[in-house]
Amino acid sequence: MIARIWHGKVLEKHSGDYHQYLLDTGLTDYKKIDGNKGVFLLKRNEAGIAHFYTFSLWEDFDTIKKFAGEDYDRAKYYPEDKNYLLEFEPLVLHFEVLEKPDYFQENSNSL
C-alpha cells in the first residue's frame, strides 16, 4: 500500500469554500479509482492561512497513475484551483505503508 500526501494553502476566510471544492473534485475523483483505499482530508489554520493536506491510500503506484498520470510525483491540479490556492506546489510525497492500525486490518474495506 502506498500513501500519497498533497499540501495546499488558501486564505482561512476561503477554507469552507475550498473544503467543499475539494469534496467535489479531487476527493470524488480519488474514490472513482479502483484501488484507492481511502482518503483523509486534514486542515490546519495558521496566521490567516488554512493548510489543507490530503492523505490518500492506494493499492500501488499503478493505481496512483490512474489518478495522477504517468508522472505521478507531480501534483494534480484542477482549473478552479487558481481561484483558491496561494501557490502551486509541484510535487506530492509518497510513502510505502509498512504498518497500519488494527482497525484497518480488520476492516480493510474502510481504507
Tell me: the pLDDT tens digits for 38-96?
Answer: 999 999 999 999 999 999 999 999 999 999 999 999 999 999 999 999 999 999 999 99
- Looking at the structure of the chain, the number of domains it has is 1
Instruction: Tell me the average pLDDT across 88-111.
Output: 79
- In what helix (H) or strand (E) does residue 48 lie, and over which residues does it extend? none
Per DSSP, helices labelled H in the chain are 15-24, 26-32, 61-68, 102-106
SS3 content of the chain, % helix, strand, coil (to 5): 35, 35, 30
Q: Does 61 reside within a domain?
A: yes
CB atoms within 10 A of CB 96: 7
pLDDT on residue 110? 47
Query: 35, 76 in Cβ contact below 8 A?
Result: no
Across residues 4-16, what is the average pLDDT? 98
So what's the pLDDT on residue 40? 95
Q: How far is residue 15's CA from residue 3's CA, in Å, rounded to a whole number?
A: 24
111 in a domain, yes or no? no
- 92: cell is 506530492
Its pTM stands at 0.88
Q: Domain range for residue 37? A: 2-106
Domain contains 40: yes
Across residues 30-44, what is the average pLDDT?
A: 94
Residue 102 lies in a domain: yes
pLDDT band at 33 (very low <50, low <70, confident <90, very high): very high
CATH code at 100?
A: 3.30.70.100
